[in-house]
Structure formats: C-alpha cells, structure tokens
Amino acid sequence: MAGISQLISTALSSPASPACPFQRGRRSQASAPRRPRAARPAVISCESRPPERVDRREVLLGLGGMCAAGGLGIGRDALALPIQAPDLSKCQPTGTNSGTNCCPPYDATIVDYKFTPTGPPRVRPAAHTVDEAYLAKYKKAVKLMRELPPDDPRSFAQQANVHCAYCDGAYDQVGFPGLELQVHNSWLFFPFHRFYLHFHERILGKLIGDESFALPFWNWDAPAGMTLPKIYTDPRSSLYDPLRDAAHQPPALVDFDLGDAAPTAQRQIDLNLSIMYRQMISSARTTKLFMGQPYRAGGNRNPGSGSLETSPHGPVHVWVGDPKQPNGENMGIFYSAARDPIFYAHHANVDRMWHLWKKLDPRNVDFTDGDWLESSFLFYDEAARLVRVKVKDCLEPEMLGFTYQNVEVPWLRNRATPRSAPSAASSSTSSSSKNQRRAKLLKSARETASFPLTLSSAASVSVKRPKVSRSPADKDKEEEILVVEGIEFNGEVCVKFDVYVDETDTADVKPDDSEFAGSFVNVPHRKGHNTKMAAVKTTLRLGISDLLEDLKLEDEEELLVTLVPRKGKGKFNIGGVRIELSS
Ligand code: C2O
C-alpha cells in the first residue's frame, strides 16, 4: 500500500503533464475534439419542440440532421452547443417567497480571461497541517475580504453570492429564456468550482499583498483530516461561521454516509475510506461516471452528477450545516453554502480529487467534447474586472498557477468485500438454498415493483442485464452501469437513498460491503426565479463491474436491486431502474 500511495503522492507532486497521451478501452467514451461552435441561431430555428427536457443536439441529430446537414448546409461543428456564460443584466433574485438577491454588481465590459502562470505555483496546504504564520495570513485575508464594501464584487458577501447565483437559479441560459442555468449535477461541476476558487484565492492573496497565498484544502479523505479543521472553529476568527451543526465540532468525525447512529471512530474512518474507494475507483471507471453527465446549451439542467459530486461532496455539505436552521444553513443549502469560509476548503479538496483521479489510471481522462471545453462562466477577478473563462483553460491546476501539498492517499486499498461468502464459494447445500431464495426474491420483485414509484420505504426490483458472462476484454472495454432514472423531487428537500444489489435484508449492510452499490444525495437548493423549475428530475449512475465480480454475479441474467430511502422519505419518485453498458 505504501508503494501505491507513494506512487500517487509522487505523481501528484510532479510538474504538470498532459493527463494522458493515449486512450484505450472502456473509458474512452469522450469524442474527438471539435472546433468551437458557430452559427447557433441558424440551427435553433429548425427545432420545433419546446427547449425544456431536451438535449438539443440529440434532437437535431435525431431529425436525421435534415435541417443541420441538409438544406441549410450547416456542418457538424455548427451543432456545437456549449453552455454560455450568463447575461448578468438579466440576473434575478432566487427563491420564491424570501427572494434572496444574490445578483452580482452589473458591468457591461467583459474581458476574455486566459491565465499565464508566472513564478512558482501557489501550494494549497492541508488545513489540519498549517502553521501559525499561515493561519495569521489566512485569517487576515478573510477579515479584509469581509471588510470590503458590500457592493464590491470581491467582498466576502459577493463571493458567497457567486455560488448562490449559479446554483439557485438566478440566471437563465443565454438564448433560452425560462431555462435555468445550473452548475451542479452535470459535467460543469468540477470546472466551475475550480475557476471559482482560483479567483477567490487570488483576491485573498491580493488583499494581503501575498502573491503566493493559497487556500487550504480540507483533507477529509484521510483519517487525520476527518474532523472539521480546527482553524475554522475559533469564534473570534474571521474563519468562523456560527451556522454549523454544534454536534459536529472536533473531535466528531465526518460521516460520508450521513448515518443516524455514530459508529466508533475507527469504524467511521473505515466506512469513509471505503466510500472514497467506491466514488474514486469502483464507481468512477468512465469519464462520465466520475465527472458527471453532458449538459449543453438548451438542455435541461441536472442531467446527473458524477460520483464524487454525489458523495462525499454532498454529504460533507449537509454534515456541516446547522440542522436547527430552516434549510441547514449555511453549508447545507447552496444559496448560503459559500457564506461559510469552510466551503472553500471543502471545495479545494473536491478539486484535488479531480486532479488525483486523473493520476490513478491512464484511462482516467477529461472529456474531449468541444461542448464541455468551450463552456464558459463569468467571474470578477482580483482587479474587479469581469472576466469570461472557458473550461478548456482550467484542465490542470498548473494552468491556473496552483498545486496541492503532497499528502498520503489512504483509501487506495479500501475496496468493499462481500458480507456473506458468494454462492460459488460456499458449500453446495448452502449455495443451492441461497439460489432458491434468490429466485424467490427475484420473482416477487418482478411481480410487485411498478414505476413510477414513490420511495417511502424499501423497494426491490429485478433488473435484466444487457449481457452476461462478459469476458475480461469486454469488461475492460465497457463498464456495466446501474441506472436509477427519473428521480424527481422538490430541490429544496434533502434527499438520500441507498442502492443495494442482491441483498434485501439491508439493515446491516454498510458502505464497505460489496452489496452496497452506492447512494444518491441531493444537497438542497432553492427554487430559481422561475417557479416552474422548482422540481428536480435527475438520474443516478453507478458503475457495478467491481461489485458483480466481488459478488460472483457475472453469470446472472437478472439482478435484484433494492432502493432504501434514508432522507426525504416519501418525498421523491423513481421513474425506473435499468442496466446499461458504457459505450
Ligand atoms: Cu457548488 Cu459544494 O457546491
């Protein structure tokens, strides 16, 4: 283990290198790079369906390309539809009743931003390791940021509003009035937050006149970093936020599973490490599974989050927020999350996970899809200029002039194990009684499950696999993915449900058991100004090739899938469950 950790640590500390010079096998689902978009309006006129809930490009291509490649003579490039930076002049308060106005100051002048690193990178330290000198600088920088006039886009309040505006529906997509822009639950999650922290960090550095200042990262993926970092807990410090869960102060350990009862410290650490392994490795074997689903101009928001965004990103938000507040403020709901300085350290570690994932396997690569690369956002920089950034300019931390302190990666061996011995390995009698039980459960699931289903208690469903007994080469080429689709709920509610495979007796099944396939977690966010858009409809995708191998289910034609609601019971629906192969 030390060997692998060392390898990763070394790789992480080495200078920037292209993420992967080659692509092979099952993870190369990203398409070839294309030239930037052009002539979008000409294409839009060909589409007759309303824009909501439709991926415009799929519609266009589905129409036989008749309007695209046909009469109008527009080539494939014309169909490129990256999400465009919002129009600040059209920003609106979010939420329906309380109407939080998180719109930034308006500036009509936009500068296209391309960062050119000069000098050594800023090194982001692990928050639990910083010394007094660093802490004094950091506290001073945040204090000065809090003291800026409230209408200065660099003030702490305005910085927090950036998150609120992009996450709680203050903007519509440019060219699509009424279609809310959302930077969560899709492939925009990692790049949006990377840029957001980049500017936040540079503003802090400028306020204290220190070009080398770097934000700390909350190293929640390592045992020593699993409590709320102490530097945020002093009530007299600028890093403090009163709206946090009083029961979750150090030495309480963060719980990625958001369970009801706290296990022993060692057990909590093991469960967290095992969730890290699943979210970074087992369930993250394709670019889409890890980074999130494609989201293009005119497409519906919330196409589906990547594994790490779902967890532990979501649970850490909910765990920090104050349960006595109406919506788990501050961290537990998106409009207020960035009012807590710990938000930025949380997201620095989330960002570090993107960086780390690409070092874990040569097949872990960024999207090469032009719509992702050309997606853009607006931010205010340290000189208070309004700048437009593009995803393609943030692919490596080094491109933005920062890097991470080299720390151990402790979860590389925490693959889940089966609770009970898999049938093939048991004695023949117990194996046959197990098979009989399985057949009975599958039969009853087939007879009772019907969709859409309101999940108020555990529900089991039998799901057919598209292919069985796949060869190692097949498995290397295509990941098997369990898809829970049509998950619908009011976005203001905290929702969590767990998914199990071949286990209906789920009370004692924990995230370090192979039968536990993963969780769905929604961090609440408010309705946007457009109330029609309050409802969230999204999809959960879980990579299950490792799980099938561990449970020796690779030859089975059907799987028994059990969904168990944990938070928001009865407040959400499930449209269906199926299995697909990545291609
Ligand atoms: Cu923009 Cu952690 O959320």
Q: Which is catalytic among the residues 193, 346, 355, 525?
A: 193
- How far from chain centre, in Å, is Cα 491? 16
317 lines ligand 1 (CB under 6 A): yes
φ, ψ of residue 348 in degrees (nearest 5): -65, -40
Share of the chain above pLDDT 70, in %: 83
pLDDT for the residue numbered 544:
97
Strand duo 558-567 + 459-464: pairing: antiparallel
pLDDT for the residue numbered 525:
82
Cα gap 163→165, rounded to integer Å: 5
235-265 pLDDT tens trace: 999 999 999 999 999 999 999 999 988 899 9
Give yes or no for residue 379 having a pLDDT over 80.
yes
Give yes or no for residue 220 having a pLDDT over 50.
yes
Is 1 buried (19+), middle (13-18) or exposed (0-12) by CB count in 10 A?
exposed
Compute the average pLDDT of residues 175-194. 95
Q: Which is catalytic among the residues 128, 156, 184, 497?
A: 184
φ, ψ of residue 436 in degrees (nearest 5): -65, -45
Q: Are 299 and 175 in contact (CB under 8 A)?
A: no
Give yes or no for residue 283 having a pLDDT over 60.
yes
Predicted TM-score of the model (pTM): 0.87
Q: What distances in angstroms separate CA 249 from CA 134, 244, 428, 502, one per listed residue?
A: 22, 9, 51, 37
Structure-token match 């598209």, residue found: 466
Tell me: cis bond preceding 177? Omega within 30 of 0 counts: no
* Minimum mean pLDDT range among 77-86, 405-414, 512-521, 544-553: 77-86
**317 assigned ligand-binding residue:** yes
The CA 574 to ligand 1 mean position distance, Å, reads 24
Q: Assess whether 313 carries a catalytic annotation.
A: yes
pLDDT for the residue numbered 534:
64
Compute the average pLDDT of residues 345-365. 97
Q: What distances in angstroms separate CA 474 from CA 117, 364, 583, one per listed residue?
A: 42, 18, 11
Cα gap 292→286, rounded to integer Å: 10
89-145 pLDDT tens trace: 999 887 655 568 899 998 889 999 999 999 999 999 999 999 999 999 999 999 999
Compute the average pLDDT of residues 281-290. 98
Which domains, from first to last, does the chain contain?
9-28+81-412 (1.10.1280.10), 42-80 (no CATH), 427-582 (2.60.120)
* Minimum mean pLDDT range among 30-34, 156-160, 185-189: 30-34
Cα gap 288→290, rounded to integer Å: 5
Query: Which atom number of ligand 1 is nearest to the Cα of residue 313?
Result: 2
CA quadruple 548, 549, 553, 558: dihedral, nearest 10: 30
Give yes or no for residue 22 having a pLDDT over 90.
no
The CA 268 to ligand 1 mean position distance, Å, reads 24
421-441 pLDDT tens trace: 555 545 667 778 888 999 999
Q: Assess whether 334 carries a catalytic annotation.
A: yes
162-183 pLDDT tens trace: 999 998 889 999 999 989 999 9
Cα gap 337→346, rounded to integer Å: 11
313 lines ligand 1 (CB under 6 A): yes
The token pair that represents 140 in the structure block? 């001073």
The count of C-alpha atoms lying within 13 angstroms of the C-alpha of 165, restricted to the half-sphere facing its C-beta, is: 27
Q: Assess whether 346 carries a catalytic annotation.
A: no
Average pLDDT, the chain: 86
Residue 73 has a CB neighbour count (10 Å cut-off) of 9
Strand duo 453-454 + 572-574: pairing: antiparallel
Query: Which atom number of ligand 1 is nearest to the Cα of residue 184?
Result: 1
Give yes or no for residue 518 having a pLDDT over 50.
yes
Top pLDDT among 528 and 197 is at 197
pLDDT for the residue numbered 422:
54
47-93 pLDDT tens trace: 222 333 333 444 333 332 332 332 333 333 456 799 999 999 999 88
pLDDT for the residue numbered 70:
29
Q: Assess whether 184 carries a catalytic annotation.
A: yes
**248 assigned ligand-binding residue:** no
pLDDT for the residue numbered 160:
96
pLDDT for the residue numbered 482:
98
Compute the average pLDDT of residues 279-298. 97
Which protein residue has the closest C-alpha to ligand 1 atom 3?
Answer: 334
Alpha helices in 248-341 (DSSP H): 265-277, 287-291, 307-308, 314-320, 334-337
